[in-house]
Amino acid sequence: MENNNVSLAQDVAAVEAADLTKPIPQKRKINRAKLQENIWGWIFVSALFIGTTVFTYIAFALSVWISFTDYDAYIMTTFWEGLGSIHPDGFWHWYQFMFTPEGILGIAGESEDFWNTLGTTCFYLIGIPIGMVLSLGIAVLMTRDIKLSGTFRVIYYIPTVASTVSIAVMWTNLFGDGGFMETVFGIDLLSAGGSYWPQRWCVIILTTWKGLGGTVVLFVAGLNGVNASYHEAAEIDGANAWSIFWRITMPQLYPTIFYVLVTSVIGGMQIFVEPNLIFGNYPATGNMATSGTRYNIPFVGYIFGVFNNGEWAHASALGIILAIIIFFLTLVQFALDARRDKV
Amino acid sequence: MTEQVLLSMEDEVLENVQSEGAAEETAAETKERGKFGNAMRKAGNALKKFFKRIPSYLRTALRVFCGWFGFGVFGGPSNKKRKKIFFDVIGYVILIVGGVTMLYPFWWMFAASLAGPTYNANGEIATNALTNMITTIFWPANTSRFGLFYNYEQAITLLNSAWQTVTIGGQAYAFWRSVINTLLYSLIPVTVGVFTSASAAFAFAKLDFKGKNFVFFYCLAAIMVPFPSIMIAQFCVYSSIGWTDNGLAMIVPGCFGAIMTAFFIRQYLYGMPTAILEAAKIDGAGYWRQFVSFVIPLAKPAIMAQFILSFMGSWNNYLAPQVFITEDMWKPLTLAIGQLDTSYGTDVTNAPSVMAASVLALLPILILFAIFQKTIIGSIMLTGSKE
């Protein structure tokens, strides 16, 4: 793209130089072609540009604005009324709310649940390294020259495309009380009553199982892209398979690993559907109503619960906090990546 | 003397390979590795001592045993072919076990959805349908006595009455309504959206206009904004203009295209020769003509892959309709299944029907994937964009 720009600049310079010597009509002709290209370029990108501006950036700005108000669906009737009323306790009320010990609208300890749900979401992130190690191993096995590797790739990818709602319904029964996992393996994760740790692990198993295929396909692509001549050179020099993998394959696979890590952390912070369908909405109870359920709600589930409760300003503020957390996590990863490049 | 020279040369070569692979290392890291290496050497020495104590008949047995797999142990010969076969077998076993883990839950889901209650001699229910369903391993203990696929009929009946307000002439039809809604929410925005994304991709890849880089990075930065942080503002606006009552909230935003789709098609178009477009230009084709009759047919594989991926994404979407759709009339299939799960998920008679409903929601996507698996996986491997 930069090259294009340079050539564009050169073109412009050439045209300007030509202006001095050539007659006027030719200059106008060139300009018209350039102008047409500009106009059509903007026409082609206009839909995407407008869509991004309106549905992402303006929505984000509105979200920030709403988070400063005390917009409540049960008290205010119109959107404009909500927008107009800045929170009486100050701009930052909803950003300080999680540090206050109070509950709101009759739900005791609501501000406390901010930390509970955030902690739960972070716990669900454990699935990412587990899934990456597993899928790296499987991808390495698939790229050995074996038969049927294409078939295996398709099989491993099936859970990724499957509907999360259906999968979650199945999971509840598979891991449920007296279910398949209990009868065959004696693993009882969901019916554990008081303790919520096994229930969380159930969600982690689900996300790992579902996400494995996509990561495997990416790693297989990355491994296929590794330059084979390095391998041959190292083999001739007498390096064994283990050191070839760590010294030659891994450094070249690093960009793929980094991409997978960044995207899965962004996605993992937004986990919602699986726990929501297994444990029910916040703060109401679903079909798995146990005392531990409250601690299995992810952060997005909390936002959704607050939103359902009509506290739209509060929910907006939580959304903005989530955006900031995700932004910083991504930033930290990129910073670590930059430091690695320097070393 | 010569041996030493040879050894040092070998070291040098190895070092070269290492430096090529992992760039330079800091002093601290080298030190760390040195410590680690020392520990390894100590462990190796201990092992050697241990091996020396092994009686000779055991050594012979081990040598023969490992030699059979191609490993040269205790001076036995190393066989590369046998070694490869050994690792191949291990690889296949792991891959097959993993593949079964991936596929088995789907079979379980299907088998469990057929479960029915078991009756004793008096015609009373001995084991209820829920128990029969969740204890299924390969086939339920008893399928429904009204026919193998009775649970599917039952599922449609239950789904039809999932929301009492959705009726036509007094007849509940929530299931068909939700299927129509799902199709509306996935077909319209995806078709229009992929077209607009492709046009933007064409402009990004093949046209030169002022502000191109700015627009590209402006749009690309939007993927950093997570959906949960903008959904409330979107909902407020949509509800104030009435889009949440008629499903437009799920249709209109998607029609403007998505940057990831555009990004992927742009990558694909970069590989396409510009000469074709220039020839078309010389023959008098305008930009619109170039796009419609050259770019779209040529980038068809990429566009198809993105179309199917976005279609699957919209079909499986759960959070957005959960937030944006307030009228039961306009709720998609995923919400209907979620609703069914909440009401009948642990019901002793209807639980298999809930499972049957989940199978129904899953089936179209699995069939689509079976047909287009080559395009989909190829496209993901090409760009690393998965949605």
A3-36 in b/e burial notation, b at 16+ Cβ within 10 A? Answer: eeeeeeeeeeeeeeeeeeeeeeeeeeeeeeebee
Chain A partners within 8 Å of B105 (Cβ): 159, 167, 170, 174, 209
Interface membership of A84 toward B (CB under 8 Å): no
- Specify the range with the lowest mean pLDDT, choosing from B95-109, B129-143, B175-189: B129-143
pLDDT at B1 over 50: no
B194-230: pLDDT as tens digits = 999 999 999 999 888 888 999 999 998 998 899 999 9
Mean pLDDT of A220-224: 87
Of B349, B350, B352, B354, which Cα lies nearest the Cα of B336?
B354
- Specify the range with the lowest mean pLDDT, choosing from A137-146, B7-16, B88-97, B134-143: B7-16
Of B386, B100, B106, which Cα lies nearest the Cα of A215?
B386
Interface membership of A279 toward B (CB under 8 Å): no
pLDDT cut 90: percent of chain A above it:
30
A70-87: pLDDT as tens digits = 888 877 777 788 788 888
Cα separation of B117 and B151, whole Å?
A: 11
Interface membership of A179 toward B (CB under 8 Å): yes
- Specify the range with the lowest mean pLDDT, choosing from A181-195, A298-312, B280-294, B301-315: A181-195
pLDDT at res. B65? 81
Q: Per the omega criterion (within 30 degrees of 0), is the bond before B140 cis?
A: no
Cα separation of A193 and A45, whole Å?
A: 54
Which of A12, A32, A52, A65 is the best substitution to test chain B (most B C-beta atoms within 10 A)?
A52
| One-letter amino acid for residue B335 of the chain | L
Chain A partners within 8 Å of B19 (Cβ): none
B303-335: pLDDT as tens digits = 998 899 899 999 989 999 999 998 888 999 999
How close, in Å, is residue A233 to chain B by CA atoms? 8
- Cβ neighbours around A108 below 10 Å, total: 10
SS3 (DSSP) at A1: coil
Do B381 and A63 make contact, defined as CB atoms within 8 angstroms?
Answer: no
Interface membership of A49 toward B (CB under 8 Å): yes
Average pLDDT over all residues of chain A? 81
pTM of the entire predicted model: 0.82
Cα separation of A114 and B123, whole Å?
A: 53
Pairing of the two strands B118-119 and B125-127: antiparallel
B32-81: pLDDT as tens digits = 556 667 777 888 888 888 877 878 888 888 888 887 777 777 777 777 78
A32-70: pLDDT as tens digits = 888 888 999 999 999 999 999 999 999 999 999 999 988
Q: Which of B102, B315, B316 sits opposite A155 (nearest CB)?
A: B102
How close, in Å, is residue A51 to chain B by CA atoms? 5
Mapped to the 3 state alphabet, what secondary structure does B297-310 carry? Answer: HHCHHHHHHHHHHH
DSSP B119: E
Angle at B292 between CA B291 and CA B295, to 5 degrees: 50
Q: Considering only residues 86 to 125 of chain A, which have any Cβ-Cβ distance to chain B shorter than 8 Å? A: none
Do B233 and A316 make contact, defined as CB atoms within 8 angstroms?
Answer: yes
pLDDT at res. B32? 53
Chain B partners within 8 Å of A338 (Cβ): none
pLDDT at res. B24? 45
Q: Which of B10, B99, B342 sits opposite A155 (nearest CB)?
A: B99
Do A180 and B134 make contact, defined as CB atoms within 8 angstroms?
Answer: yes
A274-326: pLDDT as tens digits = 888 888 777 654 444 444 566 788 999 889 988 888 888 889 999 999 999 99
Q: How far is CA B220 from CA A48, A259, B253, in A?
A: 11, 15, 17
pLDDT at res. A265? 92
How close, in Å, is residue A13 to chain B by CA atoms? 15
